Amino acid sequence: MTDTESIVKEAGLSPARIPEHIAIIMDGNGRWAKAQGKERLEGHWQGYRTLKNIVYDADALGVRYLTVYGFSSENWVRPENEVDGLMDLMLRAMQSEIEELIESGVRVRVSGRLHELPPDLRAEFESAMNRTTTCHRLTFHLAINYGGRAEVVDAVRTIAQKVQDGTLAPADIQESHISSNLYAPDIPDPDLLIRTAGELRLSNFLLWETAYSEIYVTPTCWPAFDRDHLIAAIADYQRRIRKFGAVVE
């Protein structure tokens, strides 16, 4: 047995049905902080510690892609000190983690309108992506200044340009033209979408890619989410029957 197989079996999971791609809406940092009598930013820092653990737990369980919603295109409306604090957190976290990510074979990808981020944060993300292109274990995919609608708009702009140039006829536009012009066309659609902190909504996350994802919502706030919660989500996923529109008896 490989290391991964024995870890998966010890967790009570089936090695044959580990989701290839897990996406997470990491929600509830503010509520967690409030419940502890702490500032919202302390919730975000604890959320970072959770994320660090979950990246390596997911990799150990054989997950190939982990996409996390770190900052939405709508989160800019938050108070200035929270937005600034989040930008600073992301910069410092990436600076402190990059060597360990490389050593662990984790490939970093970042999707969203990165040109609207502070230049030092954008440069740090670009460096992390460049330095991990040959890493072959988990792909750790961060959605930052990401909006599902903005992603589709950006894809449509590229397609419209081809139509204007005369290289593509409107009648020939297929779903694959949209898919292949999204931010990360090489990453398969998520098998499992986890949302922490109980809200039953997508909040503009991966609108196109989650068409057939299995959804798991836990009341646990993100800073309190741990390996056992991840295993519980995967165990729930393994009990689902995926049908993709077909009749499955």
Catalytic residues: 27, 75
Token representation of residue 143: 């959605």
Tokens 């072959």 belong to residue: 136
Indicate which single residue of 11, 13, 25, 27 sits in contact with Mg ion (rule: CB under 5 A).
27
Least distance in angstroms from the C-beta of 128 to Mg ion: 25
Contacts of 58 (CB under 8 A, 6+ apart): 22, 66, 138, 230
Among positions 118-157, residues that touch ligand IPE (CB under 6 A) are none
Least distance in angstroms from the C-beta of 226 to ligand IPE: 17
Interface with Mg ion (CB under 5 A), residue total 1
Let me know if 133 is exposed, middle or buried by CB neighbors in 10 A (0-12, 13-18, 19+). Answer: exposed
Q: Which is nearer to ligand IPE, 70 or 190 (CB)?
A: 70
Task: State which H helix or E strand residue 50 sits in.
Answer: helix 40-60
Applying CB under 6 A, the span of 66-74, 115-123, 183-191, 230-238 interacting with ligand IPE comes to 66-74
Residue 27 sits in the site that holds ligand IPE (CB under 6 A):
yes
Least distance in angstroms from the C-beta of 164 to ligand IPE: 34
Q: Which is nearer to ligand IPE, 71 or 225 (CB)?
A: 71
Q: Kindly give the residue spans of alpha helices, DSSP state H, lying in 76-131.
A: 80-103, 119-131
Applying CB under 6 A, the span of 116-124, 150-158, 180-188, 193-201 interacting with ligand IPE comes to 193-201
By a kind-dependent CB cut-off of 5 to 8 A, residue 99 interacts, out of Mg ion, ligand IPE, none, with none
Least distance in angstroms from the C-beta of 7 to Mg ion: 31
- Sheet hosting strand 192-195, strand order edge to edge: 107-111, 139-146, 65-72, 21-25, 192-195, 214-217
Let me know if 231 is exposed, middle or buried by CB neighbors in 10 A (0-12, 13-18, 19+). Answer: middle
Cβ(47)–Cβ(94) under 8 Å?
A: no
Least distance in angstroms from the C-beta of 146 to ligand IPE: 8
Residue 28 sits in the site that holds ligand IPE (CB under 6 A):
yes
Task: State which H helix or E strand residue 150 sits in.
Answer: helix 148-165
Among positions 134-193, residues that touch Mg ion (CB under 5 A) are none
Q: Which is nearer to ligand IPE, 36 or 179 (CB)?
A: 36
Q: Which is nearer to Mg ion, 62 or 85 (CB)?
A: 85
Residue 66 sits in the site that holds ligand IPE (CB under 6 A):
no
Among positions 31-50, residues that touch ligand IPE (CB under 6 A) are 31
- Kindly tell me the number of DSSP H helices and DSSP E strands found in the chain: 8, 6
What's the DSSP call for residue 79? Answer: -
Binding site for ligand IPE (CB under 6 A): 25-31, 69-72, 75, 86, 197, 199, 201, 203
